[in-house]
Amino acid sequence: MAADTFLVELGVEELPPGAIDNLSDAFAAGVRRGLEEADITHGEVKAYASPRRLAVQVKDLADKQPDREVERRGPALAAAFKDGQPTKAAEGFARSCGVTVDQLIHLETNKGTWLGYREQQQGEATTALLPSIVEKAIAALPVPKNMRWGASRVEFSRPAHWLVMLYGERVVEAAALGLQAGRTTRGHRFHAPEPLPLSHADDYLAALESAWVLVDRDARRERIREQVLAEAEVQEAQAVIDEALLVEVSGLVEWPVALTGGFDERFLEVPAECLISSMKANQKYFHLLDDAGRLKPRFITVSNIDSPSPELVIQGNEKVIRPRLADAAFFYETDRQRPLAERIAGLSSVVFQQKLGTLADKAHRNAAVSAFIAGRIDGDVAHARRAAELAKCDLVTEMVLEFPELQGIMGRYYATHDGEDAEVARALEEQYLPRFAGDAIPQTRTGQALALADRLDTLTGIFGIGQRPSGTKDPFALRRAAIGVLNILIQGELDLDLRELLELAAAQHQELPYADGLVDEVLAYMLDRFRAWAQDEGIGAEVYLAVRSRPVTKPLDFARRLQAVKVFSSREEAAALAAANKRVSNILSKQSDAVTAKVDDGLLQEDAEKALAEALDTCRDKVAPLFAAARYGDALDVLAGLREPVDRFFDDVMVMAEDEAVKRNRLALLASLQALFLEIADIAELQH
């Protein structure tokens, strides 16, 4: 079976830069899925993309489907013949197969014998199947928003202008989005606007690069990175390359050329974050820092042309950025003319959520919870209350209205300017930490109290109005809020009871339609998030389930148990003790009456049960202070010593003795064993 390279390229007007990666990956996935469904063997499937094209290249694509044996089943043998002669059913089936009845075979199944027919079906040519595969792949693309162009009824993200489909040297006869497939692509819009015919599908990358197009997304990004770093080195500066910005810039250019420009040093009087946000959000510039980490009055822009007069391109970018930075400076000066505290009243006109009131209502609720938490973690209650009152005030400043990503950051700057306490000012920024997985948590007690209160208020409020997340829908980012709370409590080593905090947060809401059972529901939801937290920590699902089965409501305590059980699960004794606990659980669950853990030593008869009772008494004395100090790892080390007496007990002792009193005593012994482990976790869950 022969094989060759397949190429499909859809040429369009400039795609939204943020959508290019998803569209490109989805296109490749759709083509791959179509080939696999058609059972066509192939090699690497590679996605390519630039602002003006989506392409997929498939290496070593077989020229046809494999031949296969097709088996058809006809009528049951009993219905196929009567008095030794074929019935109409048998003759009709034979005709449908294109053969006579005597050419049919007998198929033996567990339900009887049937007439059947086997034939070799020739595989269809790949070029005949590709048009449908590509058409389906294009139709399934996750286009953010469709549009029409000209008089056509065709819809796509952007107007489509050309379609290339090559199998080796041959053009695949196909059509999509109103375009006929050919071998002609286009190069760079300005540097190589002439049509560019491709001789072979393998020529794609080289041909486009010769026409000033880097169509490989990864290669284009790395070239941008290299150029930006090289420009920064010339400026004796450090370039800050935000990966999200790099992806976006890569989606704006086909032939990147990095250039360095500058701006007036007077703008450096504005907080660096404001200038950086303006440069990134509006102009897609990379900013530069000096050796001390201070912002330099320079920027790097990535042009889509290799201009013979780069200084003119630089001047144009400098001219554009100047009014942007002037706006940022104006917002900063305007905002500082009014203290943050004067904006508290304005929060009453900003709705947080229709059923949960305004930002002023949220600030009032947060103040009460923040103050309570601060008192529990040796923080300053007055600072926590003040930070909560000011926390949302920067949301109504000119700067944050223009650059929402500066929320909290500007609050810190403005609070510092107003003379607020340094920890209060810092807490205004820290309230949003952690913002993503791996991000830092608040470092001040005031920041920790505020960050916890704000998330707990949102969780209880949104659940309380019946807006629990479902599937992938989580418009209020409650999953992130829950994990944020867990991370703050654990990394901050705050030994707080989540149930108590949720009860307090829920009580601040005046009226919630789903108040019944609210705390239990939110608590369960948050503790369920420990599964993701544990996974990030390299902790297996069975360890999580072992701890989750216990009524633990302090996240810090939950985390300590997880780490202890994780270490214990790798011990040699773990498997045997987990199996023993599983057996104990099964035995006890089958008892009609409740089994106490009180053992009567006078009823112990066998040496093995006496040894186990003695071992349990010894362990109980040793682990009691360890449990009290939450030293769960040390406690499990002690309990690991129970393996030998437990194994011996099950080998030598009949639990379900004929004497009812002896039986109940042995059950009590097992309940006592189980109770010791359940002080930490249900290790029966460790048994695979």
**For residue range 507-534, what is the model confidence (pLDDT) as tens digits?**
999 889 999 999 999 999 999 998 888 8
pLDDT at 20 over 90: yes
Q: Are both 27 and 173 inside the same structural domain? A: yes
pLDDT at 688: 62
The most confident of 439-453, 546-560, 670-684, by mean pLDDT:
439-453
pLDDT, tens digit (0-9, with 9 covering 90-100), for 437-463: 889 999 999 999 999 999 999 999 999
Coil/strand/helix, residue 98: coil
Residue 605: predicted pLDDT: 83
Q: What is the pLDDT of residue 103?
A: 87
pLDDT category of residue 206 using cuts at 50, 70 and 90: very high
Q: pLDDT tens-digit profile of 26-47?
A: 999 999 999 999 999 999 999 9
Q: What percent of the chain has pLDDT over 90?
A: 69
* 36 and 99 inside one domain: no
Same domain flag for 627 and 665: yes
Integer Cα distance of 455 and 432 in angstroms: 9
The candidate with the shortest Cα–Cα distance to 353, out of 512, 212, 491, 504, is 512
Residues 129 and 190 in one domain: yes
297 lies in a domain? yes
Q: How many CB atoms lie within 10 A of CB 286?
A: 27
Separation of alpha carbons 125 and 5, rounded Å: 15
Please tell me whether residues 479 and 385 are part of one structural domain. Answer: yes
Of 558, 548, 532, 556, nearest to 438 by C-alpha is 532
| The pLDDT of residue 115 | 86
Dihedral sign computed on CA atoms, order 20, 21, 22, 25: positive
Residues 6+ apart with CB under 8 A from 546: 565, 681, 682, 683, 684, 685, 686
Q: Tell me, yes or no, whether 550 lies in a domain.
A: no
pLDDT of res. 229? 97
Mean pLDDT confidence for 637-657: 86
Claim to verify: residue 353 and residue 403 sit in the same structural domain: yes
For CA atoms 194, 198, 199, 204, give the dihedral sign. Answer: positive
Distance, in Å, from the CA atom of 352 to the CA atom of 346, rounded to the nearest integer, reads 13
> Distance between CA 262 and CA 268 in Å, rounded?
12
- CA–CA distance, 584 with 442 (Å, rounded to integer): 45
The pair of three-digit structure tokens given for residue 222, joined into one six-digit string: 């790395």
- Whether residue 358 is contained in a domain is answered as yes
Domain that holds residue 400: 341-528
Comparing 48-52, 276-280, 553-557, 662-666, the range with the smallest average pLDDT is 662-666
Contact assessment for residue 179 and residue 162, using Cβ atoms and an 8 Å cutoff:
yes
472-497 mean pLDDT: 93
Q: Is residue 543 part of a domain?
A: no
Residue 574 has pLDDT above 70, yes or no: yes
Average pLDDT of every residue of the chain:
92
Examine the pLDDT at 150 and tell me if it is beyond 80.
Answer: no
- Position 83 scores a pLDDT of 83
Domain end, chosen from 210, 241, 272, is at 210
Q: Could you tell me if residue 322 is inside a domain?
A: yes
Q: Is residue 554 part of a domain?
A: no
CA distances from 446 to 387, 395, 508 (A): 7, 20, 20
| Range with the poorest average pLDDT among 178-192, 408-422, 602-616 | 602-616
3-state helix, strand, coil in the chain (%, to 5): 55, 15, 30
Residue position matching structure tokens 């199947």 = 129
Is 533 a member of any domain?
no
> Taking a C-beta distance cutoff of 8 angstroms, is the pair 643, 524 a contact?
no
257 and 178 in a common domain: no
What is the model's pLDDT at position 104? 85
Is a pLDDT exceeding 80 seen at residue 414? yes
Question: Does the pLDDT at position 334 exceed 70?
Answer: yes
C-alpha span between 95 and 93 (Å, rounded): 5
Lowest mean pLDDT among 66-75, 181-190, 215-224: 66-75
Q: Per this entry, what is the length of the chain?
A: 688
Please say whether the beta carbons of 433 and 362 come within 8 A: no
- pLDDT value at residue 613: 86
DSSP code per residue over 293-319: SPEEEEEEEEESS--S-HHHHHHHHHH
CA distance 347 to 362: 9
Instruction: Identify whether the C-beta of residue 383 lies closer than 8 Å to the C-beta of residue 375.
Output: no
Q: How far is CA 492 from CA 153, 377, 487, in A?
A: 59, 10, 8
Q: Are 597 and 521 members of one domain? A: no
What mean pLDDT is predicted for residues 55-81?
A: 89
User: pLDDT by residue (tens digit) across 222-274?
Assistant: 999 999 999 999 999 999 999 999 999 999 999 999 999 999 999 999 999 99
Element (H, E) at 648: helix 643-652
Tokens of 628: 């009290």
Integer Cα distance of 209 and 200 in angstroms: 15
Q: Please check whether residues 574 and 518 belong to one and the same domain.
A: no
Q: For the CA atoms of the chain, what is the radius of gyration?
A: 35
Q: Decide: residue 252, CB within 10 A, 0-12 exposed, 13-18 middle, 19+ buried.
A: middle
Handedness of CA 173, 174, 180, 181 (dihedral sign): negative
Secondary structure element (H or E) that encloses residue 180, with its range: strand 179-180
- Mean pLDDT to the nearest integer, 138-152: 82
- Residue 258: per-residue pLDDT: 97
Helix (H) or strand (E) holding 470: none
Statement to judge: residues 192 and 325 lie in one domain: no
Residue 545 within any structural domain of the chain:
no
SS (H, E, C) 131-158: HHHHHHHHHCCCCCCCECCCCCCCCECC
User: For the CA atoms of 621, 623, 627, 629, what is the dihedral angle to 10 degrees?
Assistant: 90
Euclidean distance between CA atoms 437 and 487, whole angstroms: 9
Cα angle: 49, vertex 52, 56; to 5 degrees: 35
Among the listed ranges 123-137, 310-324, 524-538, 647-661, which one has the minimum average pLDDT value?
647-661
In angstroms, the CA 61 to CA 130 distance is 11
Angle made by CA atoms 436, 50, 318, in degrees to the nearest 5: 75
CATH number of the domain at 582, please: 1.10.730
**pLDDT greater at residue 143 or residue 349:** 349
- In this predicted structure, the answer to whether residue 152 has a pLDDT above a threshold of 80 is no
CATH number at residue 139: 3.30.70.260
- Does residue 328 sit in the same domain as residue 353? no
Query: Are 579 and 621 within one domain?
Result: yes
- Whether residue 487 is predicted with pLDDT greater than 70 in this model: the reply is yes
Q: How many domains does the chain have?
A: 5
List C-alpha distances in Å: 88 to 106, 395, 424.
17, 82, 92
Q: How far apart are CA 576 and CA 573, in angstroms?
A: 6
DSSP alpha helix (H) spans, 98-256: 126-139, 204-210, 217-234, 243-250
Cα–Cα distance for residue pair 555/426, rounded to 1 Å: 25
Q: What tokens does 462 get?
A: 């949104």
Which of residues 270, 301, 335 is at a domain's end?
Answer: 335
